[in-house]
Each structure stands twice: as structure tokens, then as C-alpha cells.
């Protein structure tokens, strides 16, 4: 055993093993650091993808002005009973919409449906079933409810709609007398 301590190769072997352990430790630390960086990057990418998807046109709401339901949106509305639901929800919001403009009412409806409205378990099941059957997301079901709620509130707080000819800014020239 004494010979082992006197052999310079033993010292070299100990130094080599120590260096290897140190190198492996540094490598493990770098991998862990990279994993943390990758985790942060993935969280950022996930957030960006959600934002991009939120900006894509919806299948249930037409991008016309004002926003209105597409054919698929009307099917979803019928499937979940969104008009009846909007009539019930409107009671809670009616006092808050007095004096507001249509776009403010829609913003209020969207915020209410997204943040405040809690569906019953039966409604939740109905929403999920309709989303599945129609191939839409749960957020699109909520968009349908918000549009129906807006339409119901606008009908309750706005005067009767004018005819198309009254909406024109100009009148057709009157026929001139001969």
C-alpha cells in the first residue's frame, strides 16, 4: 500500500478522477441552467401562442361591425339556449348599461361572461357538449353568450330600430314635375 502513495501515477490518477468529477459537476450545472432557461422560454412561447390565437378570427363571431354571430355561432346559440340565458343574465346588468354606447355595452357583456358568470353544472355540461359537437372551443361558446347578451341588452335600452331608409344620410332626389 505504501508503494501506491509513492507512485506518481497514483497522484495523476487521483487528479484525473478529481478533474473528471469537477467537469461532470460543471456539465450538470450547465444542463440544469439550460433547462431553467428552456422552461422560461417555453412559458414565454406559450403566452405568445395564446395571444396569437386570441387574435385569430373566431368561427362563431363575424368580424363585421357590429360583431354578429356566424351560422356556426347561431347553431351554438341554439344548442346552448344562449338567448334564454342572455335574457336571464340581462337582469343583473340592466342597471349598469344605462347611458352606455353599444361598444361599451359589448365590452361589459364580454367582461361579465368571462370574469363573473359561473355556469351551473348542467350549463357547463351543455356548453362542453355543444363545443364538442360543433368543433369549437369553450371560449367561443362564451363569445356566443356575450353577443347574445349584448343584443338583448341593446334591444332593451335602445329605441326601436329605424328602417333602412331612415338610416340613410341622404334622400333620393324627388322626381321633378314636368
Question: For cell 386570441, what's the residue?
Answer: 54
Q: How far is CA 84 from the centre of its chain?
A: 24
Number of neighbouring beta carbons within 10 Å of residue 76: 26
- Output the CA–CA distances (angstroms, integers) from residue 95 to 72, 87, 153, 157, in the order listed: 31, 14, 10, 10
pTM of the model: 0.58
Are residues 109 and 153 in contact, defined by beta-carbon separation less than 8 angstroms? yes
| Mean pLDDT comparison of 9-13, 37-41, 108-112, highest-scoring range | 108-112
Is residue 96 scored above 50 in pLDDT? yes
Cell of 37: 432557461
Cα 105 off chain centre by: 19
pLDDT per residue as tens digits for the range 2-26: 676 677 788 888 889 999 999 999 9
Helix (H/G/I), strand (E/B), else coil: 13 = helix
- Residue 61's DSSP bridge partners are 69
Q: How far apart are CA 119 and CA 125, in angstroms?
A: 9
Cell of 2: 505504501
Q: Are strands 68-69 and 61-62 parallel, antiparallel or unpaired?
A: antiparallel
Mean pLDDT of 116-130: 94
Query: To the nearest 10°, the Cα dihedral for 153, 156, 157, 161?
Result: 110
1 confidence band (pLDDT: 50, 70, 90): low
Is 50 exceeded by the pLDDT of residue 171?
A: no
How does pLDDT run across 132-163, given as a tens digit for each residue?
999 999 999 999 999 999 999 999 887 655 44
Amino acid at each position: 500500500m505504501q508503494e501506491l502513495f509513492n507512485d506518481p501515477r497514483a497522484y495523476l490518477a487521483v487528479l484525473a478522477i478529481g478533474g473528471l468529477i469537477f467537469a461532470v459537476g460543471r456539465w450538470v450545472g450547465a444542463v440544469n441552467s439550460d433547462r431553467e432557461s428552456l422552461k422560461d422560454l417555453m412559458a414565454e412561447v406559450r403566452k405568445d401562442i395564446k395571444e396569437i390565437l386570441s387574435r385569430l378570427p373566431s368561427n362563431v363571431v363575424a368580424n363585421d361591425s357590429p360583431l354578429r354571430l356566424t351560422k356556426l355561432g347561431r347553431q351554438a346559440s341554439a344548442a346552448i339556449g344562449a338567448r334564454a340565458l342572455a335574457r336571464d343574465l340581462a337582469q343583473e346588468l340592466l342597471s349598469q348599461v344605462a347611458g352606455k354606447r353599444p361598444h361599451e355595452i359589448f365590452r361589459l357583456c364580454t367582461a361579465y361572461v368571462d370574469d363573473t358568470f359561473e355556469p351551473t353544472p348542467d350549463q357547463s355540461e351543455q356548453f362542453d357538449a355543444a363545443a364538442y359537437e360543433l368543433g369549437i372551443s369553450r371560449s367561443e361558446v362564451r363569445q356566443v353568450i356575450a353577443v347574445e347578451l349584448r343584443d338583448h341588452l341593446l334591444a332593451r335600452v335602445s329605441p326601436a330600430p329605424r328602417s333602412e331608409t331612415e338610416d340613410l344620410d341622404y334622400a333620393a332626389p324627388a322626381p321633378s314635375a314636368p
